[in-house]
Each structure stands twice: as structure tokens, then as C-alpha cells.
Amino acid sequence: MSIPVIGAPVVNNPYWIHRLVMSVDYPVDNFVIINNNGRGEIDEELDRIAKSSHNFINKIKVCHMPANIGCVGAWNLIIKCYMMSPYWVIVNDDVAFGRGLLKEMAESVQKDPEVGLVHAYPGNFDLGSWDMFLIRDHVIETLGLFDENTYPAYCDDADYIMRILNSNIKRIISLEGNYFHGNGNKDNYYEEGSQTSKSSEVLGDKLNTANEVNCEYMKRKWGDTWHMCQPKKLPFNGEVKLGSNFYDLKFVRTKHTGF
């Protein structure tokens, strides 16, 4: 049974997304690339990828954003554009699938309909690494879309983890297969990840600043002990329901990347 959707945001350096597409070795109905560059610098390269034939991918689609909508803005767009899918595989552009990993991931949800999230690697805190994950429709129905107030990046996965900790969502946090992040294996994220920020010192500085601001936002949303994975039961002192989503324009503007 084919994977309905794989989606990946990309900001710069199309080398990585090309490598990701070429690593697919299991049937996929739709592979969608969210072009977050916003400046036309990589449009042609991405369009060439979309026009290429692939033995395992039925359709490759590129969505050129007029500006950078952020990491989880792209994640949410992937979900909303393919809203009828039973699940979505969302992945960083600088990741590449190891042989047989996608098959293992697809079979893991086929075997157990109660599994809502699948991570291929547990990460440093055994909460699942979010550089590649599968998320099922019933999780979105229960916990909502990702919080776009974490624009442009960082703390986006941590916010969803806080919701998961306050729910009974069944998860798989590790698979046997390997995948690659940057030039390293799946357990080399801190050495080999964050290729987007590494490719531009200016953008890297903006993302680091956004990370600091987003950590303060997490404190307001989930309490002082969120970073110890001890969030309050409801966000913002219970003023917002667990699966609610809202977008704070004034706050997001303070972290605008300029493109």
C-alpha cells in the first residue's frame, strides 16, 4: 500500500531536496515540496525536480511561496493541501531515507490503526526526532495543526510534544531502518543538521534569535517547566483548549526573516 503524501519545506540549496527525492524507494502517491525561499533563487531547480520521472513517486509537486511562511506554516500547508489523506510523512529537506525505511514506516501504521505518530529515531530525550515523522489524521483532529506562532522555526516540535504529553496518543518513537541527516546518520543531527541556517550566516543569526524568542513563548504557553517536559495541562493557564490553534500576527512580525 503506497504512502499517500510525503512533504518537505525547502529554503535554499536544492541539492538536499534532490537527494531526498532520489532516496525514495517505496511507492508514494504525492511528494510535495514547499518552496519557502520567496526570492526566486531556487525555483528553476525545484521545477526540474518536479518534472523528472521517478520509479516510486507518482506525482511531484512544487508550491512556490511568495515569501517564507516558516517551517510549521509549510507543515500545515502540506496537511491542508492533502486533507483527505489518512496520514502524512513530513521530513526536513536535508534528510535522505535509508533503504527500506519508508516501507517499514508505512507498514507500522498499516499493522496498528491506533498508532498516531511514527518517528524513525527517538532523539536525545526519547520523545521522537522530528526531522522526519509520520502523523495520522486522528492526531490532527485531536491535537490540532502545528502552532504557527513558532515562525520561522524552532520550538515547533516542542510545542506539539507538550500536547502529546497531555494526551493518550499512541506513538512509535524508533524504527530499525536508518536515515541520513546532512552528511551523517540519523543520530548525528546536532553535528549534521540545520543545513538551512548553516548555509547563510545572516539567516542563521535570525533563526537563533527566533529560537530564543520562541523559548519565551513556550514558557508563557506551557509554564516554567515546559523544557523539562512537565507542561501545564492546558496552554495559557487553561484559556485555550489543548487542540486549539490561533495566530498572533504582532508577535510573529517581531521575528520576520525579511523574505
Whether 259 is in a domain gets the answer no
**What is the pLDDT, as a whole number, of residue 188?**
75
The pTM for the full model equals: 0.93
Q: Is residue 210 part of a domain?
A: yes
pLDDT tens digits for 167-210? 999 999 999 999 999 998 888 766 655 656 666 778 888 889 99
Looking at residue 191, its pLDDT comes to 67
Of 10-14, 121-125, 147-151, 214-218, the range with the lowest mean pLDDT is 121-125
Q: Is residue 23 part of a domain?
A: yes
Distances (CA, A) of 65 to 33, 43, 69: 10, 10, 7
pLDDT over 90 at 7, yes or no: yes
Q: Quick one: pLDDT band at residue 38, thresholds 50, 70, 90?
A: very high
pLDDT number for residue 203? 81
CATH number at residue 49: 3.90.550.10
Considering the domain boundaries, does residue 130 fall inside one? yes
Confidence of residue 92 (pLDDT cuts 50, 70, 90): very high
Report if residue 258 sits inside a domain. no
Mean pLDDT score of the chain: 94
| Domain encompassing residue 82 | 3-253
Domain count, the chain: 1
- pLDDT on residue 9: 98
Q: Please give the average per-residue pLDDT across 84-112, as a whole number.
A: 97
